[in-house]
Structure 1
């Protein structure tokens, strides 16, 4: 039993890291491997991907390239479906690494007429734009245990209590089904 408890977590972490490495290396690595043949070194694709992402980020700080990226964004925002997909992806990424982080408040939701409670993250404190009857609600994202999925609930504010724990502790607790992070 101790062997399983030791090997399985290590094996799963190694597997996820290797698969992630292969995926990111293949973004540019596959075409580089075709052109370079035996000279190609595994990892060069991920290195080049990181360099390109950094270069684009650096270029966006300058007027000309910021204008060029603005033009590309305006084109994407005019195409049906693509504009919705682009907006969702951009806002999701900004919520994790941008200035306005979404998962900054951990919430404990009391279920009405039920002793059960639900742990989640306040993503939006003003949902009145969805309807006047929701002016006293907040949006709470509840991740699902053992998955990278979740549900968003609109919960009356009186049923929400902000907890004094870090989002990382709460996410670890939720994703592990309460086994970790307690």
Structure 2
């Protein structure tokens, strides 16, 4: 009977050590698997289109992971460089003019181009801030990502009350890949200091992983010295 507590204690230590190791190894293993899966996927798309005489793996006689991805990055960079000069812009406009004549293709191309331009624009404020809105009822607050001010027809129809409307993306927990796009008054949003990456961690973990927050230090107001009363003129 005296050995039972020791066996329970030993089992508890083994379980705690296993859980600790799982917390350390699982994210590392999943990240490694996702990284190599993406590299293999990129290689499978790019490598078949590389002429054999230009493929470094042909001369090395070994498969180099990531070679196709590296070539794709170099190719995309060169296309971007050429697209900035006059000749490159002319070629791009000519290609787009052909795509715009195709009924189905032009819709897909315009939508994808608008999405990439919005996401990759350097000065875009899309999904660079997080906030809180009352949802689904007053007194309940939900985390949202700020997508930007309302524009176009939506802004013209909603900004009739003289208050600026803001588009927000409300993702679900724990998979923030789908959600609701809503337009709410800017005054109804509580802006947060956390980054979108920290907000995504908070959502995925169901509120368990909250970012550290240090409230701003309020400097005390300096008190002005009392003003001496004007001395009375002596006779």
* Larger strand fraction of residues: 1
Q: 1:18 to 1:108 in 2, by over 3 A?
A: same
* CA gap 1:152/1:51 in 2 versus in 1, 3 angstroms: same
Segments of 5+ residues of structure 2 without an aligned counterpart are: 1-18, 212-235
- Whether the aligned pair in 1 keeps the contact of 2:150 and 2:183 (CA below 8 Å) is no
Distance between the aligned counterparts of 2:82 and 2:128, measured in 1?
30
> Which residue, 4, 13, 18 being the options, matches 2:36?
18
Give 1:109 deviation, angstroms.
0.8
Instruction: Report how far residue 5 of structure 1 moved.
Output: 1.3
- Measure the CA separation in 1 of the matches of 2:44 and 2:92: 25
Match of 2:132 in 1: 108
Higher Cα Rg: structure 1 or 2? 2
Find the residue that maps to 1:81 and give its secondary structure. helix
1:119 partnered with 2:178: no
For residue 133 of structure 1, report the CA deviation from its aligned partner. Answer: 4.7
The alpha-carbon distance between structure 1 residues 164 and 146, as it changes in their structure 2 partners (threshold 3 A), is same
> Separation in 1 of the partners of 2:199 and 2:139?
20
Q: Residues 21 and 45 (structure 1 numbering): CA distance in 2 closer, same or farther, change over 3 Å?
A: same
The RMSD of aligned alpha carbons is 2.7
Distance 1:143 1:78 in 2: 36
TM-score by length of 1: 0.82
2:125, 2:148 within 8 Å by CA — same for their partners in 1?
no
Q: Which residue of 2 aligns with 1:88?
A: 111
Tell me by how many angstroms 1:157 deviates. 3.3
Q: Could you say which residue in structure 1 is the equivalent of 2:96?
A: 73
Greater RCO, CA 8 A, separation 6+: 1
Change (3 A) 1:48 1:88: same
After superposition, the Cα gap between the structure-2 partners of 1:131 and 1:59, relative to the gap in structure 1 and judged at 3 Å, is: closer
Of 113-122 and 145-154, more deviation after overlay is shown by 145-154
> Aligned runs of 1:128-143 on 2, under 5 Å?
129-130=153-154, 133-135=157-159, 136=163, 137-143=165-171
Runs of 5+ consecutive residues of structure 1 not aligned to the other structure: none
Q: How many residues are treated as equivalent by the alignment? A: 182
> Which stretches of structure 1, 4 residues or longer, exceed 6 Å deviation after superposition?
33-37
Name the stretch that deviates more: 58-67 or 106-115.
106-115
Give yes or no for the alignment of 1:58 onto 2:81.
yes
Corresponding residue number in structure 1 for 2:207: 178
More deviation, 55-64/152-161? 152-161
Which of 52, 65, 68 lines up with 1:45 in the alignment?
68
